Chains A and B, each alone.
Chain A
């Protein structure tokens, strides 16, 4: 028996994530205190400025939507006992696919086009996770490794494609052409970027929560994730649970990518996913893989991001303070502070 926890089974932390939050904020505060000439105003810029102006707040909420979708899928995979490390590539594929399909059919009615774009994004994300899911199901291959590798290959290939054959030569950005205006996410609260995306994320969180807590399959999936041998022994359909969560996670990541592409830019920009897959993992872990906490956790991350941006603009402090805070959250998200829960079983 090794005392190490199974790398594929992060602890379900629930409120256990509070120390992680506290550590992250404390680190940010200490750095600001040390580096700033005017700590008070820097504190205000970091912690409070996101809430002082409605436009900034609306942007913050919008910013949380896509990572929230990613985190929901990641949490679902965590619940099934696995680790989806391919969020980055799945989101990239989803965003690019959504743009390509909408460029191909430029004259649909707006809502239909948007729906189509999202579906295409979800399908592309799912397709990116499909090889891993299939080999997991049929060969028991390691999801952690295969999702990451496939994702990296997809990222590099899309980097090339967007810089090459798909590129809009008239633009300075390395990006595809822009989709028709009708397909842009409608803004609810201009000039902010707030769209219905956060509602979509909340709805997804609600559905996932209902599924996990009140459906038979959800319960079975949970139990399978905790103890596959048990699930197999009592007769659950373990092969399905080795397959579907990963596919759904891929679809959610793809949808998140579509959101990124159709939201701010209306086009697929090279490198547009910018670490959303990693953020999804952190958020899922911070939320203890509980869909009810994923949106709040995503908002917390968006706050860190906006806060660090503000502090760098307003107080000249490095915006990387937000990255450090996020890293600390991730470092401590699976830690246990209340002593070991159970002594190691005798043997």
Chain B
């Protein structure tokens, strides 16, 4: 008989009414004492929501939690802490100008004379804890001066200081290099052997297979299966994570490729002394859709910034139609040369608080004639675009009232409504239903047929295979070109590359 499970999750449901998404749709899982239990899934499968609920940062709509067989309710992080559960969040929650010790004792500070912070004791406790897990952390070091693995260690230390029994790690390796990640897993195994149960949330299949004792696969907010690493392999796991398991093996498209539109030559980018993109060398030509796929934390956002001209690279050069991208006047670039669907739809692609009409016309060229007659014409054109996009709303309504999917439609209508020789589409179908998704893909393909060079950046393999003529994968800042989509370039091969499994 199994020993009593340490932590048991039953039929958790969590919806976000503001966005209308169901993050968790009846998730159940069991964490046994002394195991490393991995939860894998694609972006948006509900992994982070699960972590937040288990650590008391979010409350579920329904479902129950049991710790050692007793039903518990977490209203705040302290409740989870009381039951020995600590979280290492994906985004750092360390106060960056405080020391390691100060971050560690926050909320339960030792005192002298009942008033003052007991620095000596907090240092001592921190040093002791960090020696306990053989972290070489200086308690007096300020967080902002630490390297990423050290920061991760500080996060882990904080979580352990709060909950000894269960450690939840949400994508702990996303800012680490491969060797740093390996030492992290060695540490997790040591912790497990010392009696801590670990819930490891990840989308990197290879890491999970080599470190976890059991694996639960999450897809679209539901559990697909829970299994042992021995019963699966990289390909199997990657495919079962994917929201559609069909393998696309479309025929190689007959592409008549022309002049280079985007050209990356040795482009590298560093983010606060870490390399995010390494030596990218590729071209996107007229008449093709060039697809780059990557999972979160592998540099896709940085690539988007480079290709969209939002940032310039530290080494190498990015050219657009033969001219250095940063040399283009932004106004001219965006009004007639480059169409851009950003991933950060609400922050960069749309202007919340403004009307739908304003959002539809807000591109250099279309705004040029804003006289009375010009406005009437723009209005008619915007109405046409809106209707063609299938959004039923008044032009003068605030864009805020639209659902995520409809916002995406407004964005696509503006950017893809007219022809531009270069198109940068970053996750262009996020939040869209299948039909609208199909329409966006068709539009991208037809723009390519009309002669545009399209750079598609996506975290969905389906999307990659639905639209791209040529395919590449970005993993830890390096680009692997797979060439023309054909029989050999199958979805499962791409999926394996995405998750760091061998090609």
* Complex Cα gap A215–B370 (Å): 6
Bin chain B's interface residue count.
35 or more
A230 at the interface (CB under 8 A from B): yes
CB-CB contacts of B282-322 with A at 8 A, as 1s and 0s?
00000000000000000000000000101000000000000
- Please determine whether B358 and A223 come into contact, CB atoms closer than 8 angstroms: yes
- Which residue of A12, A220, A227 contacts B367 across the interface (Cβ within 8 Å)? A220
- Please determine whether B308 and A233 come into contact, CB atoms closer than 8 angstroms: yes
Chain A 207-232 interface residues, beta-carbon cutoff 8 Å to B: 214-216, 219-220, 222-223, 226-227, 229-232
Using CB atoms, name the residue of chain A closest to B353.
A226
Given A233-B340, A235-B364, A223 contacting B333 (CB threshold 8 A): no
B352 to chain A, nearest CB (A): 7
9-residue interface stretch from A134-142, A257-265, A339-347: A339-347
* Complex Cα gap A222–B348 (Å): 15
Tell me how many residues of A have a C-beta within 8 Å of chain B: 25
- Please determine whether A214 and B370 come into contact, CB atoms closer than 8 angstroms: yes
Chain B 370-390 interface residues, beta-carbon cutoff 8 Å to A: 370, 372, 375
A234 at the interface (CB under 8 A from B): yes
- Please determine whether A223 and B19 come into contact, CB atoms closer than 8 angstroms: no
Using CB atoms, name the residue of chain A closest to B367.
A216
Chain B 319-368 interface residues, beta-carbon cutoff 8 Å to A: 330-335, 340, 342, 346-354, 358, 361-364, 367-368
* Complex Cα gap A216–B18 (Å): 32
- Please determine whether A342 and B18 come into contact, CB atoms closer than 8 angstroms: yes
B346 to chain A, nearest CB (A): 8
A43 at the interface (CB under 8 A from B): no
Chain A residues with Cβ below 8 Å from B368 are 216
* Complex Cα gap A236–B351 (Å): 13
Q: Which of B21, B334, B358, B362 has the most CB of A within 10 A?
A: B362
A187 at the interface (CB under 8 A from B): no
- Which residue of A12, A230, A235, A346 contacts B16 across the interface (Cβ within 8 Å)? A346
Given A219-B367, A233-B342, A227 contacting B331 (CB threshold 8 A): no
A12 to chain B, nearest CB (A): 8
Chain B residues with Cβ below 8 Å from A336 are none
- Please determine whether B330 and A235 come into contact, CB atoms closer than 8 angstroms: yes
B3 at the interface (CB under 8 A from A): no
- Which residue of B23, B352, B353, B358 contacts A219 across the interface (Cβ within 8 Å)? B358
Using CB atoms, name the residue of chain B closest to A344.
B18
Given A219-B370, A235-B364, A230 contacting B350 (CB threshold 8 A): yes
- Please determine whether A229 and B400 come into contact, CB atoms closer than 8 angstroms: no
B23 to chain A, nearest CB (A): 8
Using CB atoms, name the residue of chain A closest to B365.
A235
B434 at the interface (CB under 8 A from A): no
* Complex Cα gap A331–B427 (Å): 43
B136 at the interface (CB under 8 A from A): no
Q: Which of A216, A233, A235, A344 has the most CB of B within 10 A?
A: A235
- Please determine whether B353 and A343 come into contact, CB atoms closer than 8 angstroms: no
Using CB atoms, name the residue of chain B closest to A233.
B348
B17 at the interface (CB under 8 A from A): yes
- Please determine whether B342 and A216 come into contact, CB atoms closer than 8 angstroms: no
A81 to chain B, nearest CB (A): 11
* Complex Cα gap A223–B414 (Å): 15
Using CB atoms, name the residue of chain B closest to A215.
B370
Chain A residues with Cβ below 8 Å from B372 are 214
CB-CB contacts of B1-36 with A at 8 A, as 1s and 0s?
000000000000000111101010000000000000
B194 to chain A, nearest CB (A): 33
- Please determine whether B347 and A227 come into contact, CB atoms closer than 8 angstroms: yes
- Please determine whether A233 and B367 come into contact, CB atoms closer than 8 angstroms: no
B431 to chain A, nearest CB (A): 12
CB-CB contacts of A232-252 with B at 8 A, as 1s and 0s?
111111000000000000000
Chain B residues with Cβ below 8 Å from A226 are 351-354
Chain A residues with Cβ below 8 Å from B352 are 226-227
Given A223-B354, A235-B363, A343 contacting B17 (CB threshold 8 A): yes
- Please determine whether B354 and A222 come into contact, CB atoms closer than 8 angstroms: yes
Chain B residues with Cβ below 8 Å from A342 are 18, 400
Using CB atoms, name the residue of chain B closest to A224.
B351
- Please determine whether A232 and B330 come into contact, CB atoms closer than 8 angstroms: yes
Chain A residues with Cβ below 8 Å from B400 are 341-342
Chain B residues with Cβ below 8 Å from A233 are 308, 310, 334, 340, 342, 348-349
* Complex Cα gap A236–B370 (Å): 14
Chain B residues with Cβ below 8 Å from A227 are 347, 350-353
- Which residue of B16, B346, B364, B375 contacts A234 across the interface (Cβ within 8 Å)? B364
- Which residue of A214, A220, A230 contacts B349 across the interface (Cβ within 8 Å)? A230
* Complex Cα gap A219–B351 (Å): 12
* Complex Cα gap A215–B361 (Å): 13
Given A223-B358, A230-B349, A234-B362, A346 contacting B19 (CB threshold 8 A): yes
Chain B residues with Cβ below 8 Å from A346 are 16, 18-19, 21, 23
* Complex Cα gap A237–B364 (Å): 10
Chain A residues with Cβ below 8 Å from B347 are 227, 229-230
* Complex Cα gap A151–B372 (Å): 40
Chain B residues with Cβ below 8 Å from A234 are 334, 362-364
Chain A residues with Cβ below 8 Å from B364 are 234-236
Chain A residues with Cβ below 8 Å from B363 are 234-235
* Complex Cα gap A230–B410 (Å): 14
Chain A residues with Cβ below 8 Å from B353 are 12, 226-227
- Please determine whether B351 and A230 come into contact, CB atoms closer than 8 angstroms: yes
Chain A residues with Cβ below 8 Å from B335 are 235
* Complex Cα gap A261–B361 (Å): 45
* Complex Cα gap A344–B334 (Å): 31
Chain B residues with Cβ below 8 Å from A236 are 331, 362, 364
* Complex Cα gap A313–B361 (Å): 56
* Complex Cα gap A229–B330 (Å): 13
* Complex Cα gap A165–B18 (Å): 64
* Complex Cα gap A182–B342 (Å): 61
* Complex Cα gap A29–B300 (Å): 61
Using CB atoms, name the residue of chain A closest to B337.
A235
* Complex Cα gap A198–B364 (Å): 37
Chain B residues with Cβ below 8 Å from A231 are 351
A-B contact pairs, 26 of them (CB 8 A): A216-B368, A219-B362, A220-B367, A223-B358, A223-B362, A226-B352, A226-B354, A227-B347, A227-B350, A229-B348, A230-B348, A230-B351, A232-B310, A233-B308, A233-B342, A235-B332, A235-B334, A235-B363, A236-B331, A237-B331, A341-B400, A343-B18, A344-B18, A345-B18, A345-B346, A346-B21
- Beyond A216-B369, A227-B353, A233-B342, list 16 extra A-B contacts (CB 8 Å): A214-B372, A215-B370, A223-B351, A223-B362, A226-B353, A227-B351, A229-B347, A230-B349, A232-B310, A233-B348, A235-B331, A235-B333, A235-B363, A343-B17, A343-B18, A344-B18
